[in-house]
Chain A
Amino acid sequence: MASTSFFLSNQTIRSTILPPCNATFRRPLSISATCATSQRTCSSNISTEYAPKQGSLYEVLGIQMGASCQEIKTAYRRLARCLHPDVASNSGDEFMRVHAAYATLSDPEKRATYDMELFHRRRPTVMSARGYSRRSRNWESDQCW
């Protein structure tokens, strides 16, 4: 309840108090030299990254399947800075999806299991007809990459 009112107040501030030139200064799009680059990437990626709601965990984090541990962490932080409800005034659902993807991919064991599953999903012909139809939606979205 506490933060909800914070977001409310934030919106009020943006719309009524600050002069218009400051409107873009709100987090997470603050203009600071050190993070301008990544933030631009971030805002432009949101729409594409979140289009496939059932995409693979790699898609959720916007990384390649062979990404290194460091790349996974970096991608997670970059997305957290855009989607965490503390900065983005949202419900937190998107951040939870990102975190779930990160939690699986940053754990070597869970990642191996997941990769295996993904590998089988991409070869639907070996699946039984029933399994194929059940998983077809995931399979389609996996085609994206």
Chain B
Amino acid sequence: MAEQAYTVASDSETTGEERSSSTVPEIAIGIDIGTSQCSVAVWSGSQVELLRNTRNQKLMKSYVTFKDEVPAGGVSNQLAHEYEMLSGAAIFNMKRLIGRVDTDPVVHASKSLPFLVQTLDIGVRPFIAALVKNMWRSTTPEEVLAIFLVELRVMAEMQLKRPIRNVVLTIPVSFSRFQLTRIERACAMAGLHVLRLMPEPTAVALLYAQQQQQNVHENMGSGSEKIALIFNMGAGFCDTAITATAGGVSQIRSLAGSTLGGEDILQNTMRHLIPNMDSYFSRHGINEIEKMGLLRVATQDAIHKLSTQPSVEIDVDLGNGRKIYKVLNRKEFEEVNQNVFEKCASLINQCLSDAKIEVADVNDVILVGGCSNIPMIRNMVTGICKKDVYSGMNPLEAAVRGAALEGAVASGVNDPFGSLDLLTIQTTPLSIGIRADGNNLVPVIPKNTTMPARKDVFFTTVHDNQAEALIIVYEGDEEAVEKNHLLGYFKIMGIPPASKGVPEINVCMDIDASNSLRVFAGVIMPGEQNPSAPFMEIRMPTVDDGHGWCAEALNRTYGSTLDLVTVQKKVQH
């Protein structure tokens, strides 16, 4: 509920500001906040340019250190050594933690990071803290992200010599709408206004569309359609998309994503080196943090080297007579991470089948993200697609370049050469539905539905004379509701007395042009034209931070007394 107040405030603020605006039109910048690295790009008037920090870096490490009184992020701060980032004073991987509750497996996997991630496993936000002068000082992923974004904004403002307000951010495909609100909040805290949040592979797809447009000087629409498969794997997430491109229009056909990334590969490999790693480091004392940092740096280094050499020597002294010495070869490394590679392959296959595209129909295979250097990833992708990788893109810059293009397009910038005559037709990355038919998620707007979208499904009561019905809205693609992201809940009241199965309960979901979701619900009795009581309209998500226990509490309080079952599906145009 707090979120809505924030949304309203930001809307009215924007309107007021823009009415009185008298400056030149602002071109939104594109930001790719990676789990491990971050970059900023902007349309310069003729092309996309990446901005550099004062140390001439285009890719900056995503972390904020709380070592001194004033927190410093990876944009401005110079690390004396990588171990400094692993001393406990720095928070990183915030993209993996944002908007997650303490029962989430991704949060649990973060407990082996040097800073403190404490969980009570009840469905509230985890306690996250940085080590400052031997004390754990608490913070939140939103706060860390906001501090980092402020540094990025200052950097961009210095270089572009103008105030920056509007941004296009790339986000992982698997992010829920609740997580998007957290990203928007972090941006608002940093004084930034989000024009668009683009799933990373769709930003890459837009860049691809522009490249195709420049290559083929044909009439719009009559140019042949090209199908591209995009596989993007970074430190925190793995995303796949199929896009059909022609005439500068990138039509997203399917999306698939998971929280699988380089961090998992790193942790699997660390666990391979120290099988009892979790218990070994669980005390989280200063000594353990230091040792864990040593192991982390050595393992990361080894993984990087294995991309170019067949084997690598790992030699770490963990103190107290404990030394790790191992020669790790590529085959062993691949076996250790078998599960990761298999999951990646299944994402690609799922994406192809969702898009109803045969491998033979794919024109280009685009491989981007930090993990695209890993030979096994490359072999897996080319093996499935039976095609070499598209060579026209820098794997570490593709997403931010796409975001900058979208920033220019969304800011209404025109290019006389038609380089910005681009359009992305987005689809929903996850299904959105309600709990019905027992404990199942019944999608109202299925995954990969073209946006904007409006769909409705009819439900009915499960008890005779049931006067109320509970509508619990979830996002995700797992059958059992509790495995999906909860977005909100409300009650339909005043259902006229009738036998079970008679009242028609209409649940309609609408995703508008600005990607905001509204849920409409109400009851109509058979043979009647008008609803029995006023329809409800709720903007989602309505849940707040500690929402993990809400569904459980609802279940405990109401059981199945306010349940619904599906009647029929029909699409409303």
Contacts and interface: CB of A to CB of B under 8 A. Distances in A.
Nearest to B213: A34
Contacts of A2: 184, 193-197, 514-515
A85 B421 CA distance: 15
A13 B373 CA distance: 44
A97 interface: yes
Given A3-B195, A12-B18, A81-B423, A34 B217 contact: yes
Contacts of B512: 85, 91-92
B220 A17 contact: no
Interface stretch (B268-276, B397-405, B448-456): B448-456
B464 interface: no
Interface string A83-113: 0111100111001110110010000000000
A4 interface: yes
B10 A1 contact: yes
Given A8-B18, A12-B21, A77-B247, A85 B452 contact: yes
Nearest to A89: B513
B414 interface: yes
A9 B410 CA distance: 10
Interface residues on B, range: 35 or more
A5 B14 contact: yes
B14 A96 contact: no
B258 interface: no
A25 B220 contact: no
A35 interface: yes
A96 B452 contact: yes
Interface in B419-462: 421, 423-425, 450, 452-454
Contact of B412 (A13, A78, A84): A13
Nearest to A7: B513
Interface residues on A, range: 35 or more
B44 interface: no
A35 B421 contact: yes
* Most A C-beta atoms less than 10 A away, residue of B10, B25, B514: B514
Contacts of A122: none
Interface string B238-271: 0000000011010100000000000000000000
Contact of A86 (B197, B246, B423): B423
A25 B14 CA distance: 24
A103 B571 CA distance: 12
Contact of B513 (A3, A8, A17): A3
B451 to A, nearest CB: 8
Interface string A3-41: 111101110110011100000011100101111011100
Contacts of A8: 14-15, 18-19
A3 B411 CA distance: 10
* Most B C-beta atoms less than 10 A away, residue of A39, A84, A86: A86
Interface in A23-76: 25-27, 30, 32-35, 37-39, 73-75
B221 A77 contact: yes
B236 to A, nearest CB: 23
A18 B412 CA distance: 12
A27 B413 CA distance: 8
Contacts of B423: 80-81, 84, 86-87
Nearest to A39: B220
A110 B416 CA distance: 41
Nearest to A74: B221
B452 A78 contact: no
A34 B221 CA distance: 10
Given A4-B514, A86-B513, A77 B246 contact: yes
Nearest to B511: A92
A97 B573 contact: yes
A80 B249 contact: yes
A30 B414 contact: yes
Nearest to A4: B514
B196 A34 contact: no
Contacts of A4: 11, 513-514
B411 A100 contact: no
A17 B18 CA distance: 12
Contact of A35 (B22, B418, B573): B418
A81 B248 CA distance: 9
A131 B431 CA distance: 36
Contacts of A27: 409, 412, 414, 421
B138 interface: no
Interface in B477-534: 512-516
A2 B513 CA distance: 9
A16 B22 CA distance: 8
A95 B512 CA distance: 11
Contacts of A95: 452
Nearest to B26: A9
A96 B573 contact: yes
The 8 closest A-B pairs by CB, nearest first: A85-B513, A92-B452, A32-B418, A3-B514, A5-B14, A35-B220, A74-B221, A92-B513
Given A2-B197, A96-B452, 8 more contacts: A2-B194, A5-B18, A25-B414, A27-B412, A34-B219, A35-B219, A38-B219, A77-B221
Interface of B: 7, 10-11, 14-15, 18-19, 21-22, 24-26, 166, 184, 193-197, 217-222, 225, 246-247, 249, 251, 409-412, 414-418, 421, 423-425, 450, 452-454, 512-516, 571, 573
Interface of A: 1-6, 8-10, 12-13, 16-18, 25-27, 30, 32-35, 37-39, 73-75, 77-78, 80-81, 84-87, 90-92, 95-97, 99-100, 103
24 contacts: A2-B197, A5-B193, A6-B195, A8-B14, A8-B15, A8-B19, A9-B18, A9-B26, A17-B25, A18-B25, A27-B421, A32-B415, A33-B418, A34-B220, A34-B418, A34-B421, A38-B219, A73-B225, A78-B221, A80-B249, A81-B249, A90-B513, A91-B512, A92-B512
